[in-house]
Amino acid sequence: MKRLLLLATLAFAPLTAHAEVPEVRIARQYSMGYLQFNVIEHEKLIQKHAAALGIPEVKVSSFRFNGPAAMNDALLSDTVDIVGGSPHGMFTLWAKTQGTKQEVRAISALVTLPFVITSNDPEIKTIADLGKCKKIPVPSVRVSSPAVAVQMAAAKLYGIKEYARFDTAMVTMSPADATVALLSGAGEVNCTLALPPFMQQQLEHPNIHVIANSFDLMGGPNTYTVSYTSAKFHDRNPKLSQAIYNALEEATDRVSKDIRTAAKYWIEDSDSKLTVDFVAAAGSGKDVKWTMIPERTMQGADFMAEVGTIKVHPKSWKDYFFPEAYGLPGS
């Protein structure tokens, strides 16, 4: 009997010794539309909620990307697990992967906030003047929210067939680099799609003015960023996925009630020279809502399907969200 017990112990020992610790690899971009991720990482909220669900140890790591195209590639290649980006970047990947094991869907919205088109050229005053822009930096051409906002504006002004009228002027550039280029006035960047807190930096300068606001371009307040992942990761890790959702809930509440702490985390993680007061003000304006509720996301999906940027047309916002969000009053 002792011999049998010894053999059984030896048989199971390697499984215990080599058991892998679950890992969550988070990717986000450079603007401040992902403050929940900063809170989650600093306060170890995924680990907290995973432990409450019976997962005692989780490794969490983070990465930053300039735009949705590179992040989407990383998600499809299993280089990252959770992505923070625009709904429009997520739509591109959802449509591409729909019905497969790699299907990508949103976990939650992160924030509703506006961004603006700015210029240092006094002759560029309205959307109709965008043809005078030499270069228009965006996080990713065609699939980022800023790029789609310009397309929607062109379609509204000139008709749906002219939606890509200004695409040739768009170039991929980080919001920080775009701000430096616009303020310097030395190169060909004379217009930008300015995202918080970089738009607040730009508008401190008297020679920078606003051409249009994204809420006006896109038909009203709309979700600026979402978190998303693959069905492969979500379905393979049901408890961990629930822990991530719970962590996002807690982090969203934290950002809403304590924007200064979230601002401190963002400054530290971004190596930013901006002050806490400046970043906190940018993240708490009258039009800013830190919320997990998807707002007017279908308008963007409808537009991208109509112009052919995505080949699958969703019938409801629930088509591209995971079930954890279905109880929310989304749109």
Query: What would the pLDDT profile of 33-45 be if each residue is shown by its tens digit?
Result: 999 999 999 999 9
Is residue 29 one of the residues assigned to a domain? yes
Is residue 330 one of the residues assigned to a domain? no
End of a domain among 155, 183, 217? 217
Dig out the tokens for 205 from the structure: 């300068």
Which residue range is the domain that position 162 belongs to?
116-217
The single residue listed with the structure tokens 């002792």 is 2
Among residues 309, 301, 308, 304, the alpha carbon closest in space to that of 331 is found at 301
Taking the CA atoms of residue 258, residue 259, residue 264 and residue 270 in that order, the dihedral angle to the nearest 10 degrees is 140
Shared-domain flag, residues 245 and 311: yes
Shared-domain flag, residues 97 and 197: no
End of a domain among 193, 217, 241? 217
Shared-domain flag, residues 148 and 103: no
Domain count, the chain: 2
- Cα separation, 116 vs 217, whole angstroms: 9
**Per-residue pLDDT averaged across 85-90, rounded?**
92
Q: Give me the DSSP letters along 141-157.
A: TTTSHHHHHHHHHHHHH
Shared-domain flag, residues 77 and 120: no
Is residue 282 one of the residues assigned to a domain? yes
DSSP 215: H
Is residue 48 one of the residues assigned to a domain? yes
- Cα separation, 195 vs 179, whole angstroms: 10
Is residue 331 one of the residues assigned to a domain? no
The CATH number of the domain holding residue 311 is: 3.40.190.10
pLDDT band with cut points at 50, 70 and 90 for residue 177: very high
Shared-domain flag, residues 9 and 107: yes
Shared-domain flag, residues 162 and 306: no
Q: Give me the DSSP letters along 61-82.
A: EEEE-SSHHHHHHHHHTTS-SE
Shared-domain flag, residues 213 and 272: no
Shared-domain flag, residues 52 and 143: no
End of a domain among 217, 235, 254? 217
Query: What would the pLDDT profile of 181-201 be if each residue is shown by its tens digit?
Result: 999 988 899 999 998 999 999
156: Cβ contacts below 8 Å, ≥ 6 apart: 217
Shared-domain flag, residues 105 and 237: yes
Shared-domain flag, residues 166 and 183: yes
Rounded to a whole number, what is the distance in angstroms from the first to the last CA of the chain?
A: 64
In the predicted model, what is the mean pLDDT of the chain?
91
Shared-domain flag, residues 156 and 302: no
Among residues 309, 286, 127, 296, the alpha carbon closest in space to that of 224 is found at 296
Contact of 268 with 275, CB cutoff 8 Å: no
Shared-domain flag, residues 101 and 185: no
Is residue 203 one of the residues assigned to a domain? yes
Query: What would the pLDDT profile of 119-135 be if each residue is shown by its tens digit?
Result: 999 999 999 999 999 99
The pLDDT of residue 15 is: 36
The pLDDT of residue 168 is: 93
